[in-house]
Chain A
Amino acid sequence: MKDINIVIEICGSAGEGTISAGEILSRFMSSQGFEIMSFDSYPAEIRGFGKCVAHTRISANPIYSPGKLSDVLIALNDKHSISQLFALKENGILIYDSQPARPHKEDESVVGWAKPGMISYGIPLNMLAHKAAGNARGMNMVALGALAALFHVDKLAFTDSIKARYSKKKQIVIDSNVNSFLEGYDWAKKNIKKIDHHSLKGISLGRAKEKLIINGNQLVAQAALDANLSFYAGYPITPATKIMEILSKELPKHGGTLLQTEDEISAIGAVIGAGFGGKRAMTATSGPGFALMTEFTGLSVMAEVPAVIINSQRGGPSTGIPTKTEQSDFNSAVSGGTGDCPRIVLAPTDTKSCYEATVLALYLAEKYQTLVVLLLDFFLSNSIRNIDIPQKPSAEMLDANIAPDKEDLKDYQRYKITETGISPRAVPGTKGGMFFSTGLEHDEYGRPNYDDANHLKMTQKRYKKFNTVLLEAPAPEISVKDKETFDIGVISWGSSAGAAHEAAMTAQKEGINASSFSTMMVSPFPEKDLIEFADKCKKILIPELNFSGQFANFVTHILKRPVERLNFITGRPMASEDILQKMREM
């Protein structure tokens, strides 16, 4: 079977159906059994006509990263697409409107800027859309039709995906979209002399078993519902808003409560309040909101109240770049806030693991009575994958609170020093379970106590709880295990892990002896595993999406040896191609 691995970008202006077209393309390719990874970028401004790009990677094999350069660029808007040509491969395909509504002035047409090795197919998108539906709205579908014809795909199967996308719309909307698609398909079939090598003809992967086409935010929301989330409080912020949007509809159906607060400080306050009351509670935000929440995070740790914060990172600092991805909140997530403030930080490494990480976050917060930060980023929040339906959490994961027994309640010490550091937690209303709860340093009963010996004892207790957390987390992922030594070891976290994994595997094929290490558990960090891996590697490379190398600094502190760094703040997800190139140079 051919090794299908294609990246397609659709570029248009907001309102031109760019994102919808990308969604339909993903849905169709998934229905044909392909792996997909798609990612949209759009303007930060709510109003206006900014640039939108729907990026989709399609493969017959597992996908770990979105692909840096595209094989196909569909230009729905010339102005925006000119600035997107940089991401089209030197021999890539450009599909553009050959008969726009208005003539172009010199240099205003995207095809005019295509590089000499690129292949351009002019399709009268605007004209055909008008022919099909009487207006230009169907240009996106005409373009998809042309793409389907060029790639020799089953047009009827494709129209099924269009119908599914618009199934809740009126019939006229479905018909006009399908007709526009067919116009583009038939026109391209008849008029285009195909000179590229791409074809899906005869590629049979069998009908895919039922898969979820879903992004990270949707998975987080689904996982939270499946993990018995009872309370959510939040304030909308890109790129985390979608989580609240979904939960606002779904949480009440599950008997839960959602509260939109006036700001992020209130949100985390409400979450801690609900956690104190014995409810599974969480909030979701981004960097600027997380900064505000820092005011309250210490209370969760000090009062040992379960709380989960999802921080979907975006370009920072401050308001920064709301619709671009970055991994620059590592430091603030792991060590932000006041005092010695241990917390659990999880960072899913791909879309699929967003589900597992969310279930784990709610479980760990409850069991360890502490703050859990779940670090997503714009890419993980928004990238869409087709995945197997996740297994629902086990009963054990749904009820993790260590409640006081009768003996404990005889003389209840909410912050009793135990072997594990975890004290039995009584929720309000527990008979005999009354206690003081405060952000002040306190003794085992919860009474304020500023004695230096007590402060040391209670600080030790709060850290001691974390000794067993690592046993609860999935083991670190190592791409190549069956060798004693490696020339290069790539250590990564979060959304960069997929690209690092792919780069290491490609490097092996190129003859570079490399492996990769990544972990969902960022704090506490699996230092022993890290050191064991690093000891096998002659050189260490740490790629991440921030300027200062926050994770590299953290790892260097553990390994006590120099590492190579690869840092980007382009706003785009990590590309395996860039990591591989760096490995070649090392």
Chain B
Amino acid sequence: MMPDNDHYVIIGNGPAGNHAAATLRQKDKDAKITIISDECIPYYYKPKLTDFIADKIVKEDLLVNPLDSYEIKNIRVRCGQAVDRIDPDSKTLFLQHMEKIKYSKLIIASGSNARVLPSMSSYADHLKFVTSYADVMEVKDEIQKAKDFFIFGGDLVGFKFLRMLSSMDNNVSILIYPDAFWPYHLTAGMMAQIIENLSKLNADIIVDDDILSIDEQNGSYRLTTQKGIEKTVDMVFSFNGLIPNIEFAKGSGIDIDHGILVDEYLKTNVSSIYACGSCAQIYNRTIKSYSTSIGWPNAVAQGEAAALNLLGDHKVIESVSKKYFDLEGVKIKTSWWEDIDKDSDA
């Protein structure tokens, strides 16, 4: 009897997951490859979501690949299907809709979700996010109708969103947190530079303050800060960085800190399971600790490396050439543990 082909399963449909799948297909023509994603949209450009909100582009422009490309590559994509738990002993994934899927080898590239500050958890129902396509679809029509906005935090997407709202002649207030770019912390110098650059926008910038309360009143929100500033707005947005989307991996025996812990080959402590992208904390020999690297190019590189290592290679992951984010004119390292300030391509 012919043995069954390997079934490589990838949890996550972002750059890491998709490049892992493409690499696996390149190296193994016969394997069964499945991508599972809890998002109801195939691989898309998250950085373009603000343009989508502003109606500068349509949904199809968000998609990275043509819809038929997966069929052509014989990669099965299961969108809108969340993993509930993993059983490494039986190499089985349990999906939330009560379907079981067997895997030979597994790559976890499940990315991250919007972080809600612990201090804001009691107001979570009032907060809107722009982290995913689903978040955006929930608020897109409302944004078009609203006029007064309050943003607190201020990560990369948050500032982009601020610029978009400002360009649409809306009234925007932003309360900037230094640790909104979590897990990175903005220094006082960085903050000053950012504020200076943002001051050119038509926005009310608030710093060194915090939210005291948010009350819903007839469809509007009344915010009060600790320093007594009061604002009544139509919508409140939170941009306070991301946290790894790894709930499903808890209890499976996979080592987890705030992300999934992997060695420099992106391998977890559990046989046949790898992790990459922003959901992974990768061991770095330079700093002798685990770190998370974010950003599209890093995710792509890690996805490819995880796939190659899963197939038997020993590729050590390194940060890719683009090592900075431009946060309102301030450079933020994507892999801050490395001494990259002197790099020519920085």
Residue positions of A touching B, CB distance < 8 A:
90, 96-100, 102-106, 108-109, 111-112, 114-122, 193-196
In the complex, A90→B101 CA distance in Å?
Answer: 24
Contact across chains for B42 and A112 when beta carbons are under 8 A apart: no
26 residue pairs of the A-B complex, CB under 8 angstroms, read: A96-B97, A98-B98, A99-B98, A104-B99, A105-B99, A106-B99, A106-B100, A109-B97, A109-B98, A114-B78, A114-B80, A116-B42, A116-B67, A116-B70, A117-B41, A118-B80, A119-B40, A120-B80, A193-B135, A193-B137, A194-B137, A195-B40, A195-B41, A195-B137, A195-B138, A196-B137
Q: Which of B37-77 contact A (CB under 8 A)?
A: 40-42, 67, 70, 77
Contact of A112 among B40, B78, B96 (CB under 8 A): B78
In the complex, what's the smallest C-beta–C-beta distance from A89 to chain B, in angstroms?
12
Contact across chains for A104 and B81 when beta carbons are under 8 A apart: no
Contact of B102 among A106, A114, A116 (CB under 8 A): A106
The answer to whether B124 has its CB under 8 Å from any CB of chain A is no
Residue positions of B touching A, CB distance < 8 A:
40-42, 67, 70, 77-81, 95-102, 133-135, 137-138
Contact across chains for A108 and B79 when beta carbons are under 8 A apart: no
Chain B residues within an 8 Å CB radius of A196: 137
In the complex, what's the smallest C-beta–C-beta distance from A107 to chain B, in angstroms?
8
Contact across chains for B99 and A120 when beta carbons are under 8 A apart: no
Q: Which of A99, A105, A115 has the most CB of B within 10 A?
A: A115
Contact across chains for B98 and A100 when beta carbons are under 8 A apart: yes
In the complex, A52→B174 CA distance in Å?
Answer: 55
Contact across chains for B138 and A194 when beta carbons are under 8 A apart: yes
Contact of A111 among B70, B81, B102 (CB under 8 A): B81
Contact across chains for A90 and B67 when beta carbons are under 8 A apart: yes
Instruction: Using A99-B98, A104-B100 as known contacts, say yes or no to A112 and B81 having CB atoms under 8 A apart.
Output: yes
In the complex, A64→B96 CA distance in Å?
Answer: 41
In the complex, what's the smallest C-beta–C-beta distance from B203 to chain A, in angstroms?
28
Chain A residues within an 8 Å CB radius of B80: 111, 114, 118-122
Chain A residues within an 8 Å CB radius of B102: 106
Q: Nearest residue in B to A122 (C-beta to C-beta)? A: B97
Q: Nearest residue in B to A199 (C-beta to C-beta)? A: B141
In the complex, what's the smallest C-beta–C-beta distance from B321 to chain A, in angstroms?
30
Instruction: Using A115-B67, A193-B137, A194-B138 as known contacts, say yes or no to A120 and B98 having CB atoms under 8 A apart.
Output: no
Contact of A99 among B67, B97, B135 (CB under 8 A): B97
Q: Nearest residue in B to A106 (C-beta to C-beta)? A: B101
Contact across chains for B67 and A112 when beta carbons are under 8 A apart: no
In the complex, what's the smallest C-beta–C-beta distance from A113 to chain B, in angstroms?
9
Contact across chains for B98 and A104 when beta carbons are under 8 A apart: yes
Ranked nearest first, the 4 interchain pairs of A and B with the lowest CB-CB distance are A195-B137, A120-B80, A116-B42, A104-B99
Contact of A116 among B79, B97, B134 (CB under 8 A): B79
In the complex, A112→B9 CA distance in Å?
Answer: 13
In the complex, what's the smallest C-beta–C-beta distance from B38 to chain A, in angstroms?
10
In the complex, A102→B78 CA distance in Å?
Answer: 21
Chain A residues within an 8 Å CB radius of B67: 90, 115-117
In the complex, what's the smallest C-beta–C-beta distance from B27 to chain A, in angstroms?
22
Q: Nearest residue in A to B92 (C-beta to C-beta)? A: A106
In the complex, what's the smallest C-beta–C-beta distance from B197 to chain A, in angstroms?
33
In the complex, A109→B78 CA distance in Å?
Answer: 11
Q: Is the interface of A mostly helix, strand, loop or mixed?
A: loop
Q: Which of A90, A97, A119, A194 has the most CB of B within 10 A?
A: A119
In the complex, what's the smallest C-beta–C-beta distance from B172 to chain A, in angstroms?
24
Contact of B77 among A111, A116, A119 (CB under 8 A): A116
In the complex, A337→B247 CA distance in Å?
Answer: 73
Q: Nearest residue in A to B37 (C-beta to C-beta)? A: A116
Chain B residues within an 8 Å CB radius of A112: 78, 81, 99
Chain A residues within an 8 Å CB radius of B78: 111-112, 114
Contact across chains for A111 and B97 when beta carbons are under 8 A apart: yes
In the complex, A240→B188 CA distance in Å?
Answer: 82
Contact across chains for A98 and B134 when beta carbons are under 8 A apart: no
In the complex, A79→B80 CA distance in Å?
Answer: 19
Q: Nearest residue in A to B80 (C-beta to C-beta)? A: A120
Contact across chains for B100 and A103 when beta carbons are under 8 A apart: yes
Chain B residues within an 8 Å CB radius of A117: 41-42, 67
In the complex, A111→B95 CA distance in Å?
Answer: 11
Q: Nearest residue in A to B59 (C-beta to C-beta)? A: A91
In the complex, A258→B137 CA distance in Å?
Answer: 59
Instruction: Using A98-B96, A109-B99 as known contacts, say yes or no to A120 and B79 having CB atoms under 8 A apart.
Output: yes
Q: Which of B97, B101, B102, B133 has the most CB of A within 10 A?
A: B97
In the complex, what's the smallest C-beta–C-beta distance from B65 to chain A, in angstroms?
9
Contact across chains for B100 and A105 when beta carbons are under 8 A apart: yes
In the complex, A488→B135 CA distance in Å?
Answer: 47
Q: Nearest residue in B to A99 (C-beta to C-beta)? A: B98
Instruction: Using A111-B81, A116-B77, A117-B42 as known contacts, say yes or no to A195 and B133 having CB atoms under 8 A apart.
Output: yes
Chain B residues within an 8 Å CB radius of A100: 97-98
Chain A residues within an 8 Å CB radius of B95: 109
Chain A residues within an 8 Å CB radius of B99: 103-106, 108-109, 111-112
In the complex, A193→B137 CA distance in Å?
Answer: 8
In the complex, A194→B99 CA distance in Å?
Answer: 23
In the complex, A347→B182 CA distance in Å?
Answer: 71
Contact of A114 among B79, B98, B133, B137 (CB under 8 A): B79
In the complex, A121→B81 CA distance in Å?
Answer: 10
Chain A residues within an 8 Å CB radius of B135: 193
Contact of B138 among A106, A114, A193 (CB under 8 A): A193
Chain A residues within an 8 Å CB radius of B96: 98, 122
In the complex, what's the smallest C-beta–C-beta distance from A474 to chain B, in angstroms?
45
Chain B residues within an 8 Å CB radius of A121: 80
Contact of B98 among A103, A118, A195 (CB under 8 A): A103
In the complex, A106→B92 CA distance in Å?
Answer: 10
In the complex, what's the smallest C-beta–C-beta distance from A126 to chain B, in angstroms?
10
In the complex, what's the smallest C-beta–C-beta distance from B329 to chain A, in angstroms?
34
In the complex, A103→B93 CA distance in Å?
Answer: 13
Q: Nearest residue in B to A118 (C-beta to C-beta)? A: B79
In the complex, A120→B40 CA distance in Å?
Answer: 7
In the complex, what's the smallest C-beta–C-beta distance from B54 to chain A, in angstroms?
17
In the complex, A97→B81 CA distance in Å?
Answer: 12
In the complex, A195→B100 CA distance in Å?
Answer: 26
Q: Nearest residue in A to B133 (C-beta to C-beta)? A: A195
Chain B residues within an 8 Å CB radius of A122: 80, 96-97
In the complex, A196→B135 CA distance in Å?
Answer: 12
In the complex, what's the smallest C-beta–C-beta distance from A509 to chain B, in angstroms?
21
In the complex, what's the smallest C-beta–C-beta distance from A102 to chain B, in angstroms?
8
Given contacts A116-B70, A122-B80, A193-B135, 14 further A-B contacts (CB under 8 A): A98-B98, A103-B98, A103-B99, A104-B97, A104-B98, A106-B99, A111-B80, A115-B67, A116-B42, A116-B67, A122-B97, A193-B138, A194-B137, A196-B137
Q: Nearest residue in A to B63 (C-beta to C-beta)? A: A117
In the complex, what's the smallest C-beta–C-beta distance from B10 to chain A, in angstroms?
14
Chain A residues within an 8 Å CB radius of B41: 117, 195
Contact of B97 among A98, A105, A106, A194 (CB under 8 A): A98
In the complex, A103→B97 CA distance in Å?
Answer: 8
In the complex, A104→B100 CA distance in Å?
Answer: 7
In the complex, A96→B79 CA distance in Å?
Answer: 14
Chain B residues within an 8 Å CB radius of A193: 134-135, 137-138
In the complex, A391→B218 CA distance in Å?
Answer: 52
In the complex, A98→B70 CA distance in Å?
Answer: 25
Chain B residues within an 8 Å CB radius of A195: 40-41, 133-134, 137-138
In the complex, A121→B41 CA distance in Å?
Answer: 12
In the complex, A97→B96 CA distance in Å?
Answer: 11
In the complex, A193→B135 CA distance in Å?
Answer: 8
In the complex, A122→B70 CA distance in Å?
Answer: 23
Chain A residues within an 8 Å CB radius of B138: 193-195
Chain B residues within an 8 Å CB radius of A114: 78-80
Q: Nearest residue in B to A124 (C-beta to C-beta)? A: B97
Chain B residues within an 8 Å CB radius of A111: 78, 80-81, 97, 99
In the complex, A121→B82 CA distance in Å?
Answer: 12
Q: Nearest residue in B to A201 (C-beta to C-beta)? A: B141
